[in-house]
Amino acid sequence: NLHGGSDTHCPLTVKMLDAVKGIPIGGVALQVFRQGADGTWGKVAHGNTDTAGEVHELITDQDFIPGIYRVVFDTKAYWKAEGRTPFYEFADVVFEAHAEEHRHYTLALLISPFSHTMTAVVSKVHD
């Protein structure tokens, strides 16, 4: 079972939690972009969180090449559906992948209508 644990077969895993309710968030859309040599962002993946608030198999090892990545979460749509007016249009994180050897990244996003915080767990999985 991939949910609730480390997913070593996918190089990028995403998890989302609602800080107000204290529950995982399902059905939130997100997009993954990679920065090109010219500084522009190209979309390389997209997905939606499942009922456990997670996205697995977002991108393959072959497509997750070294570079600068940006993950954008559509948090506004979630809060609108909850009947709240959020402050943020979206939440995003920008990070460098594979700065030192091949690694697995788990991004955990905790959101409320007026704040968000991101935690990253980076591990070597091909040792």
On average, the pLDDT of the chain sits at 88
**pTM summary value:** 0.86
Residue with tokens 């204290």: 22
The pLDDT value recorded for residue 81 is 93
Name the CA dihedral angle for 68, 103, 98, 117, rounded to a multiple of 10 degrees. 30
Mean pLDDT of 95-107: 80
The pLDDT value recorded for residue 1 is 40
Whether the pLDDT of residue 118 is over 90: the answer is yes
**pLDDT by residue (tens digit) across 13-66?**
999 999 999 999 999 999 999 999 999 999 999 999 999 999 988 998 888 889
pLDDT band at 4 (very low <50, low <70, confident <90, very high): very low
Distance CA 13, CA 9 (A): 10
Distance CA 71, CA 83 (A): 25
The pLDDT value recorded for residue 111 is 94
